[in-house]
Amino acid sequence: MNSKQIPQKIKKVLRELKIDNPTLLGKGGEGYVFNFKKDTVIKIYDHADEKYLQSLEKLQTFIADKKLPFAIPQILEIGKVDGIYYDIEKKLDGVLMEDKFPTLLAKEKFKLLKSYYEAIKALNTIEVPDLPYGNIVEIPYKLNDQTWPGFLIKMLNYKLEVAGQRVAKDVTDFDSKVKLLTDVIKKELVIEKKSFVHADYFVNQVLVNEQNEISAVLDISSHAVAGDPRLDAAGVFFFEGMKHYKKEHIKFLTNLAVQDYGESILKYNDIYRLYYCFYFSEVHTFMPEWYQTLIRNLNDEEIWERINNYH
């Protein structure tokens, strides 16, 4: 992305803060990240408010206190220019996994995949018993419930309010599939323990060091929930169809999850795969290729046949 593609409202914040010739480090779903000073970066948000950023800062501090073997973002300062919020964060070391992985030899790729799995496993060891099931940070559509299935169904219904009209046109037997998934969620996803769940964990969300190990986990934010860590494990399907990730890579990650959760994880992978596909379906407006991947899954009758057997 060049400077001409950066929105004027973002440039205005940069000018106000006297950041000349800014170096764009990345753009995500929340906003733009630029180099700031020696050990810090500035993140300028497309849409955020003080309540959200304060709750995010609180969550980051809570996680940082757990002394995990990798870094996470930490907000140092929150500011606003003409209604546009930004924060100053500590700079994290490493290279994005999505950039590093294709450059590695086969043995190092599997080493990195294991580190990738172990990083999310470490995050998932954080228990949050005092929180309700569901969203952790303060977002406009924050949803919570006394049960994990109750939260998932609330979120599913919310996402269908947002994108359901479009999805219904693209998914065969849409209504019956939504009902079946809802029934299976109620029956199969009852849990007792509440863990921290990233819920958007992928190769564009982690940094890698020179030893090809995860050095930082990024974007712990609006997707984060208190709930079932198997939701993160099920994100292995995100790799399907990715250019540099082969079947043996996906099988390797799946087998690591089987070692931890048993063969039953395959059932939960199916259920959460379909939940994810509805959850992210609103991306049809800005990530059409990813949307088509979601729709292909939602139209995969073999998956739905297995789901029906769980029911």
pLDDT score, position 181: 98
Tell me the CATH number at 155.
3.90.1200.10
Q: Which of 90, 105, 136 is the last residue of a domain?
A: 90
Same domain, 168 and 20: no
**Shared domain check, 172 and 275:** yes
Average pLDDT of every residue of the chain: 95
| Most confident of the ranges 6-10, 193-197, 282-286 | 193-197
- For helices 288-298 and 148-170, the axis angle rounded to 10 degrees is 100
Same domain flag for 251 and 275: yes
Radius of gyration of the chain (CA): 20
114 and 222 in a single domain? The answer is: yes
pLDDT of the residue at 3:
59
pLDDT band at residue 51 using 50, 70 and 90 as cut-offs: very high
Q: Tell me, yes or no, whether 145 and 270 share the same domain.
A: yes
pLDDT tens digit sequence for 100-134: 999 999 999 999 999 999 999 999 999 999 999 99
Q: Identify the sign of the CA torsion 295, 300, 301, 307.
A: negative
CA 69 to chain centroid = 19
Domain boundary among 32, 67, 90: 90
Same domain, 172 and 26: no
Place 95 in a pLDDT band, splitting at 50, 70 and 90.
very high
pLDDT over 90 percentage in the chain: 89
Q: Which domain holds residue 251?
A: 95-310
83 and 109 in a single domain? The answer is no
282 and 162, same structural domain? yes
pLDDT tens digits, 266-278:
999 999 999 999 9
Instruction: State whether the Cα torsion 87-90-95-98 is positive or negative.
Output: negative
226-267, pLDDT tens digit by residue? Answer: 999 999 999 999 999 899 999 999 999 999 999 999 999 999
Rounded percentage of the chain residues whose pLDDT exceeds 70: 99
CATH number at 26 reads 3.30.200.20
Tokens of 120: 């999310």
Question: What is the band of 4 on the pLDDT scale with cuts at 50, 70, 90?
Answer: low
Which of 53, 75, 90 is the last residue in one of the domains?
90
Q: Number of folded domains in the chain?
A: 2
17 and 101 in a single domain? The answer is no
**Same domain, residue pair 78 and 113:** no
The 10s digit of each residue's pLDDT in 180-213 is: 999 999 999 999 999 999 999 999 999 999 999 9
pLDDT category, 311, cuts 50, 70, 90? confident
103 and 234 part of one domain? yes
Same domain, 143 and 254: yes
92: phi > 0 → left, psi -120 to 50 → alpha, else beta; which? beta
| Residue 1 pLDDT level (bands cut at 50, 70, 90) | low
With a cut of 90, say whether residue 28 has pLDDT above it: no
